[in-house]
Chains A and B, each alone.
Chain A
Amino acid sequence: MEPKALRVALRIWVALVLAFLFIPIVLIVLYAFNQSTIESWPISHFTLHWFSLAWHDPEVRAAFWLSVRVGLFATALALLLGSAIAYAPSRCCWCSRSRCRASSPGSR
């Protein structure tokens, strides 16, 4: 078991890393509501203006639907090809049973 001080230090480290990972994501959400186009902090006025602008912009809509279509198509294709290549070795066609067991992720 780890000494108490080490556990506290580890906990602080984890908190700092989580802050590092999530502060930028929270910030980008906040800036979506920023009224000013200047990126200075703190944000003085909040607005929903950009959302309505994006919602009514035909180019943004077209880009959004294109992204969705490409995403769905890529997912479907990757699902088909990926499942086929993952299924083949798991259904033991050429490797012996012992080798398959050794290489399967469930076993150690």
Chain B
Amino acid sequence: MTPAAPEVSQKKKEVTPNGGWLRVSAALWRRPWARAALLLTPPLAWFAVFYIAPLIVLLVTAFWQINPFTTNIEHVWTLNNLSTILTTPAYLRIIGRTVGMAAAVTVVDAVVAFPFAYYMARVASPRTRTALFVAILLPLWASYLAKVYSWLVIFTHQGILDWTLGKLGLGQVHLIYTNWAVFTVFCYLWLPYMIIPVYAALERIPASQLEASQDLGARTWRTTRRVLLPLALPGIAAGSIFTFSLTLGDYITPILVGGTSATFIGNIIYTNVGIANNVPFAAAMALIPIAIMAVYLLGARALGAFEEI
């Protein structure tokens, strides 16, 4: 009996973990909710801790203030930060400038993206379509800073833009450190985010609907305006969420290519977190784009943007 004992115990050892795993997997198979909980708990916990919690902290901080002498945060409830922002003309101008910039970038990107997306979806051969798709994704993989710096090089005095215009005999424009430079760089940076959803919307319009419109006598322009544009509108709205919100939140491009008047909401937040060390005020300022985006998203949902994504 004695020599057999180790063998038995070894066998037991081999079976137990295997059986344990089987039992666990069987239990999970029998209970779909347990499976779902096991899969969803880690990502949702991450989401709660790293997305939701900081947002709540931000919201709360916006209603605190700093001691002007020690610059320590005082946990006293106050609406001072928000009322300062909403009653100071300079801040209102900055908010207006930021929203205007975001709107202008969105409109121009939509106008630039639409014919491009149309060509991709309806004219190009499948091979060209794939190539164009890769071509608009490639710039997204290039570094943000490298792209902004390349525009700095283009716009700078004696840069390539001045050189090209000089060769064409058009004089010089000196766009560097102006809001035009900021505008161009934003249009450049976010253009792919507009093309992709517009392409997705155009691609799923059945050809028969366009043919029906033309059979009924509508010319190209009328078909575009009355059939194509309404059907593509959810895609344009989806793309505009990206271009609008990304412009609203950016502060690096204005720092690099913008001039003295290129102060946007993001720059105010940045200087208040860093130089002025007034985090409650920065938090209150950060609530402004959140509020604007909330309104914007409601509008975009009404246009059907979320059915596209």
User: Residues on A close to B: CB < 8 A?
Assistant: 2-3, 6-7, 9-11, 13-14, 17-18, 20-25, 27-28, 31, 38-42, 80-82, 84-85, 87-88, 91, 93-94, 108
Contacts and interface: CB of A to CB of B under 8 A. Distances in A.
Interface residues of B, number: 43
A3 B220 contact: yes
Nearest to B191: A21
Given A18-B135, A24-B151, A84 B43 contact: yes
A41 B172 CA distance: 13
Contacts of A42: 160, 163
Interface string B144-170: 001101111110111110110000000
Given A11-B119, A13-B116, A24-B147, A91 B158 contact: no
Interface of B: 32-33, 35-36, 39-40, 42-44, 46, 112, 115-116, 118-119, 122-123, 132, 135-136, 138-139, 142, 146-147, 149-154, 156-160, 162-163, 188, 191-192, 204, 220
A17 B118 CA distance: 13
Interface of B is mostly: helix
A82 B43 CA distance: 7
B150 A41 contact: no
The residue in A10, A21, A22, A31 that gathers the most chain B C-beta atoms within 10 A of its C-beta is A21
Contact of A81 (B36, B46, B191): B46
A25 B150 contact: yes
24 contacts: A2-B122, A10-B118, A18-B135, A21-B135, A21-B139, A24-B151, A24-B188, A27-B160, A28-B153, A40-B156, A40-B157, A41-B153, A41-B158, A41-B162, A41-B163, A84-B40, A85-B44, A87-B39, A88-B36, A88-B40, A91-B35, A93-B33, A93-B35, A94-B32
